[in-house]
Amino acid sequence: MKLELLNEKHLTALMDFELENRLYFESLIASRGNDFYRRPVVLAHIRDLVSDYDAGEKLSCLVIQDDEVIARANIKDIDDEVSTAEVGYRVAESAIGKGVASFALASLIELAKTQLGLKSLTAWVMSNNPASARVLEKQGFVEQESIQNHYCFNRRYLACTQYRLNLDR
Protein backbone atom coordinates (compact mmCIF):
# COMPACT_ATOMS: atom_id res chain seq x y z
CA MET A 1 0.00 0.00 0.00
CA LYS A 2 1.37 3.40 -0.94
CA LEU A 3 0.21 7.01 -1.09
CA GLU A 4 0.68 8.84 -4.39
CA LEU A 5 0.03 12.44 -5.34
CA LEU A 6 -2.87 12.50 -7.81
CA ASN A 7 -1.97 13.24 -11.42
CA GLU A 8 -3.26 12.57 -14.93
CA LYS A 9 -1.64 9.13 -15.13
CA HIS A 10 -4.24 7.98 -12.58
CA LEU A 11 -7.23 8.76 -14.83
CA THR A 12 -8.27 5.17 -15.63
CA ALA A 13 -7.61 3.85 -12.12
CA LEU A 14 -9.51 6.77 -10.57
CA MET A 15 -12.45 6.26 -12.96
CA ASP A 16 -12.55 2.58 -11.98
CA PHE A 17 -12.45 3.45 -8.27
CA GLU A 18 -15.22 6.03 -8.53
CA LEU A 19 -17.49 3.84 -10.67
CA GLU A 20 -16.99 0.68 -8.61
CA ASN A 21 -17.74 2.54 -5.37
CA ARG A 22 -20.38 4.96 -6.55
CA LEU A 23 -23.35 3.27 -4.87
CA TYR A 24 -21.42 2.77 -1.66
CA PHE A 25 -20.30 6.42 -1.49
CA GLU A 26 -23.79 7.62 -2.37
CA SER A 27 -25.13 5.65 0.61
CA LEU A 28 -23.07 7.98 2.85
CA ILE A 29 -22.83 11.32 1.03
CA ALA A 30 -24.52 13.21 -1.78
CA SER A 31 -23.97 11.99 -5.32
CA ARG A 32 -21.46 13.68 -7.57
CA GLY A 33 -24.12 13.43 -10.29
CA ASN A 34 -24.17 11.39 -13.48
CA ASP A 35 -22.08 13.87 -15.46
CA PHE A 36 -19.06 13.33 -13.19
CA TYR A 37 -18.56 9.73 -14.33
CA ARG A 38 -17.23 10.53 -17.79
CA ARG A 39 -13.53 10.49 -18.72
CA PRO A 40 -13.33 14.16 -19.83
CA VAL A 41 -15.01 15.31 -16.61
CA VAL A 42 -12.78 13.21 -14.36
CA LEU A 43 -9.72 14.38 -16.31
CA ALA A 44 -10.80 18.01 -15.76
CA HIS A 45 -11.36 17.17 -12.07
CA ILE A 46 -7.80 15.81 -11.81
CA ARG A 47 -6.39 18.86 -13.58
CA ASP A 48 -8.28 21.16 -11.20
CA LEU A 49 -6.88 19.31 -8.19
CA VAL A 50 -3.34 19.42 -9.61
CA SER A 51 -3.77 23.16 -10.19
CA ASP A 52 -4.94 23.57 -6.58
CA TYR A 53 -1.82 21.69 -5.45
CA ASP A 54 0.42 23.94 -7.57
CA ALA A 55 -1.25 26.97 -5.94
CA GLY A 56 -0.58 25.55 -2.46
CA GLU A 57 -4.27 25.18 -1.67
CA LYS A 58 -4.77 21.43 -1.62
CA LEU A 59 -2.92 18.11 -1.63
CA SER A 60 -4.91 15.35 -3.34
CA CYS A 61 -3.61 11.80 -3.08
CA LEU A 62 -4.57 8.24 -3.84
CA VAL A 63 -3.88 5.09 -1.88
CA ILE A 64 -2.68 2.46 -4.35
CA GLN A 65 -2.43 -1.26 -3.79
CA ASP A 66 -1.60 -3.75 -6.56
CA ASP A 67 -1.91 -0.94 -9.14
CA GLU A 68 -5.48 -0.26 -8.02
CA VAL A 69 -6.90 2.82 -6.28
CA ILE A 70 -8.34 1.73 -2.95
CA ALA A 71 -8.80 5.19 -1.39
CA ARG A 72 -8.63 8.90 -1.93
CA ALA A 73 -7.05 11.16 0.69
CA ASN A 74 -6.62 14.90 0.73
CA ILE A 75 -5.48 17.91 2.66
CA LYS A 76 -7.54 20.95 1.74
CA ASP A 77 -8.27 24.50 2.83
CA ILE A 78 -4.60 24.97 3.66
CA ASP A 79 -4.23 28.18 5.66
CA ASP A 80 -0.57 29.21 5.81
CA GLU A 81 -1.30 32.14 8.12
CA VAL A 82 -2.44 29.92 10.98
CA SER A 83 -0.71 26.74 9.72
CA THR A 84 -3.80 24.56 9.60
CA ALA A 85 -5.78 22.55 7.06
CA GLU A 86 -8.60 20.03 6.79
CA VAL A 87 -8.12 16.34 5.98
CA GLY A 88 -10.52 13.95 4.32
CA TYR A 89 -10.57 10.48 2.83
CA ARG A 90 -12.86 7.97 1.15
CA VAL A 91 -12.09 4.28 1.07
CA ALA A 92 -13.29 1.65 -1.39
CA GLU A 93 -16.03 -0.54 0.02
CA SER A 94 -13.89 -3.64 -0.59
CA ALA A 95 -11.09 -2.13 1.53
CA ILE A 96 -13.17 -1.17 4.58
CA GLY A 97 -11.84 -2.61 7.84
CA LYS A 98 -8.39 -3.36 6.41
CA GLY A 99 -6.47 -0.40 7.84
CA VAL A 100 -6.64 1.66 4.65
CA ALA A 101 -8.24 4.72 6.27
CA SER A 102 -5.69 4.56 9.10
CA PHE A 103 -2.84 4.32 6.59
CA ALA A 104 -4.23 7.22 4.54
CA LEU A 105 -4.71 9.43 7.59
CA ALA A 106 -1.28 8.63 9.05
CA SER A 107 0.27 9.46 5.66
CA LEU A 108 -1.61 12.77 5.49
CA ILE A 109 -0.48 13.66 9.01
CA GLU A 110 3.15 12.98 8.05
CA LEU A 111 2.83 15.13 4.90
CA ALA A 112 1.18 17.91 6.91
CA LYS A 113 4.12 17.95 9.31
CA THR A 114 7.05 17.42 6.96
CA GLN A 115 6.01 18.83 3.59
CA LEU A 116 3.53 21.52 4.59
CA GLY A 117 4.82 22.51 8.04
CA LEU A 118 1.33 22.68 9.48
CA LYS A 119 0.62 22.98 13.20
CA SER A 120 -2.86 21.46 13.24
CA LEU A 121 -5.38 19.51 11.19
CA THR A 122 -9.15 19.35 11.35
CA ALA A 123 -11.65 16.85 9.99
CA TRP A 124 -15.44 16.75 9.86
CA VAL A 125 -17.42 13.55 10.31
CA MET A 126 -21.13 13.07 9.75
CA SER A 127 -23.10 11.06 12.27
CA ASN A 128 -23.76 8.31 9.71
CA ASN A 129 -20.04 7.45 9.64
CA PRO A 130 -18.89 6.43 13.13
CA ALA A 131 -16.05 4.32 11.69
CA SER A 132 -14.39 7.47 10.39
CA ALA A 133 -14.62 9.07 13.83
CA ARG A 134 -12.87 6.02 15.33
CA VAL A 135 -10.06 6.27 12.76
CA LEU A 136 -9.53 9.93 13.64
CA GLU A 137 -9.53 9.24 17.37
CA LYS A 138 -6.98 6.41 16.98
CA GLN A 139 -4.66 8.91 15.25
CA GLY A 140 -4.99 11.38 18.14
CA PHE A 141 -7.72 13.68 16.82
CA VAL A 142 -9.96 15.12 19.55
CA GLU A 143 -13.63 16.03 19.17
CA GLN A 144 -14.12 19.80 19.12
CA GLU A 145 -17.73 20.58 18.34
CA SER A 146 -20.84 18.94 17.01
CA ILE A 147 -23.42 20.69 14.90
CA GLN A 148 -26.86 19.08 15.02
CA ASN A 149 -28.97 18.92 11.85
CA HIS A 150 -26.00 20.19 9.84
CA TYR A 151 -26.53 18.17 6.68
CA CYS A 152 -29.66 16.85 5.02
CA PHE A 153 -29.04 13.53 3.34
CA ASN A 154 -31.78 11.29 1.97
CA ARG A 155 -34.40 13.46 3.69
CA ARG A 156 -32.70 12.88 7.04
CA TYR A 157 -30.81 15.53 8.98
CA LEU A 158 -27.39 14.46 10.23
CA ALA A 159 -25.11 15.93 12.83
CA CYS A 160 -21.56 16.77 11.85
CA THR A 161 -18.66 16.72 14.29
CA GLN A 162 -15.34 18.50 13.96
CA TYR A 163 -12.14 16.84 15.14
CA ARG A 164 -8.74 18.48 15.62
CA LEU A 165 -5.18 17.25 15.87
CA ASN A 166 -2.34 19.45 17.13
CA LEU A 167 0.84 18.62 15.23
CA ASP A 168 3.34 20.72 17.18
CA ARG A 169 3.58 18.38 20.17
- From first to last of its 169 residues, the chain has per-residue pLDDT tens of 999 999 999 999 999 999 999 999 888 777 888 999 999 999 999 999 999 999 989 999 999 999 999 999 999 999 989 999 999 999 999 999 999 999 999 999 999 999 999 999 999 887 777 888 999 999 999 999 776 766 666 667 767 889 999 998 5
Domain count, the chain: 1
In a domain, 112, yes or no: yes
pTM of this prediction? 0.90
Look at residues 59, 66, 50, 51 and name the one whose alpha carbon lies nearest to residue 9.
50
In a domain, 18, yes or no: yes
In a domain, 17, yes or no: yes
In a domain, 57, yes or no: yes
CATH number of the domain bearing residue 88: 3.40.630.30
- Classify residue 92 as exposed, middle or buried by CB count within 10 Å of its CB (0-12, 13-18, 19+): buried
